[in-house]
Copies of this chain bind each other. A is one copy, B any other.
């Protein structure tokens, strides 16, 4: 019999107890954005530290200028075992508007919704207390069965994720040596659907830029000056229109440097996900993908870079009409980056592209609004194939490797500050209503999530470099 089998059995047998523990944690009102709940946040941190200690972790609550961190460490079976850092957050979103909840958000419950399906209801069930406890329960069962853990495990629980993580970077910076592991496990993501687990292997990066085109030194009357004076809205719209060619590709020289073609088998896998334009765009009232022609919808949002115009303004924008030629016009432009695109180079290429198109008697100002490279786990990584197989063993359908169109700051921080890649696995579903009234988590997610982590930890412990 494998080492895994009795761990899975223990998880099955202890499900009720694990729910009791989760409910204890869920009852703590750890809303990080509201100072009124400061002591509740600390109570959640203390509850977690105590729980980790009960499993044998060397765990403690660490003060920060904001809400405390919880850090725990547990030895692995030997010196050459992999070392993983698990990240989660114990703080939750506010619960307003309270009248839209069907029940007290801090009185968690199990609800039978028919067809054999049960859900856990309450604030934090899915985001992120339910998710992080799947991992803790897997550790507990492993320890209970084998007296030790299959790999060396460090844990970092944050209490400010819902309020912008102001203390996170300074904390990582001050504890680099303590927190650095071979890789991180981040459980703040979701499944593809209720039967299909998912691993996020790519997160797009971002360059944000604001441009202000300046023409005359004052607003002009379009009757008197129209046809003579440069119109900054015309200059701006011409520049923005030049950024995409007729096939939806970005025309800025060098923009695609560092963009890699996604492996054929991954594209095939994505095709199997049936994310048609109708499925994906229909719910927001659209139907035609706007990006590069000849690429599938999922490739467009997961593995291709974009140029988006997030805001534009100039001239008279109020009610009615004013025949004015404005002195200036501005736009906020962002680029989503993939693979090895270099944010600094993209910004410079964009600025050069704009400057070339500004008439000699006009000028342009640039304002920087953030930059972060994309994150891409190698499709060849053994870590990935081990996790993928482990998840596929647990769920009705094989695990899929997906990507995310946006960024998850913690993953970038781990990479940049600790030189550590992250494996993004979670069991949330799209309809979990995180951040909204009536947040829920599937009982299946909680139960099979625990079993999934047990399988992943087991896989990581087996020989083979990760």
Q: How far is the CA of A310 from the CA of B324 in the complex (A)?
A: 5
Indicate with 1 or 0, residue by residue over A224-267, a CB within 8 angstroms of chain B CB atoms.
Answer: 11111111011011101110100000000000000000000000
Contact B361 A301 (CB under 8 A): no
Contact B301 A225 (CB under 8 A): yes
Known: A240-B233, A240-B237, A369-B320. A308 touches B325 (CB 8 A): yes
Q: What residue in chain B is nearest A284 (Cβ atoms)?
A: B216
Instruction: Provide the residues of chain B in CB contact with A233, threshold 8 Å.
Output: 240, 309-312, 331
A162 within 8 A of B: no
| A206 partner, pick from B216, B289, B320, B323, beta carbons under 8 A | B323
**A contacts with B: majority SS:** mixed
Indicate with 1 or 0, residue by residue over A292-303, a CB within 8 angstroms of chain B CB atoms.
Answer: 100001001100
A411 within 8 A of B: no
Q: How far is the CA of A370 from the CA of B222 in the complex (A)?
A: 15
> Interface stretch among A89-97, A127-135, A143-151, A399-407?
A399-407
Interface pairs A-B: 10 shortest CB-CB: A223-B406, A241-B241, A217-B285, A311-B315, A227-B291, A321-B369, A227-B300, A233-B309, A311-B316, A237-B240
Contact A222 B317 (CB under 8 A): no
| A336 partner, pick from B208, B223, B290, B360, beta carbons under 8 A | B223
Q: How far is the CA of A310 from the CA of B316 in the complex (A)?
A: 6
- The chain A residues found within 8 Å of chain B, CB to CB, are 204, 206, 208, 210, 215-218, 220-231, 233-234, 236-238, 240-242, 244, 277, 280-281, 284-292, 297, 300-301, 304, 306, 308-317, 320-326, 329-332, 334, 336, 359-362, 369-370, 404-407
Instruction: Provide the residues of chain B in CB contact with A297, threshold 8 Å.
Output: 228
Contact A290 B323 (CB under 8 A): no
Instruction: Provide the residues of chain B in CB contact with A230, threshold 8 Å.
Output: 286, 288, 290
Q: How far is the CA of A280 from the CA of B225 in the complex (A)?
A: 9
Q: What residue in chain B is nearest A320 (Cβ atoms)?
A: B369
Q: List 6 A-B contacts (CB under 8 A).
A: A227-B304, A227-B336, A228-B291, A285-B361, A286-B361, A317-B332
Contact A284 B229 (CB under 8 A): yes
Contact B237 A309 (CB under 8 A): yes
Instruction: Provide the residues of chain B in CB contact with A336, threshold 8 Å.
Output: 222-223, 226-227
Contact A301 B228 (CB under 8 A): yes
Instruction: Provide the residues of chain B in CB contact with A223, threshold 8 Å.
Output: 204, 206, 336, 404-407
Known: A224-B301, A284-B225, A290-B234. A210 touches B321 (CB 8 A): yes
Contact B311 A222 (CB under 8 A): no
Contact A288 B226 (CB under 8 A): no
Q: How far is the CA of A287 from the CA of B313 in the complex (A)?
A: 24
Instruction: Give the shortest distance, in Å, between A198 (CB) and chain B (any CB).
Output: 15
Instruction: Provide the residues of chain B in CB contact with A361, threshold 8 Å.
Output: 281, 285-288
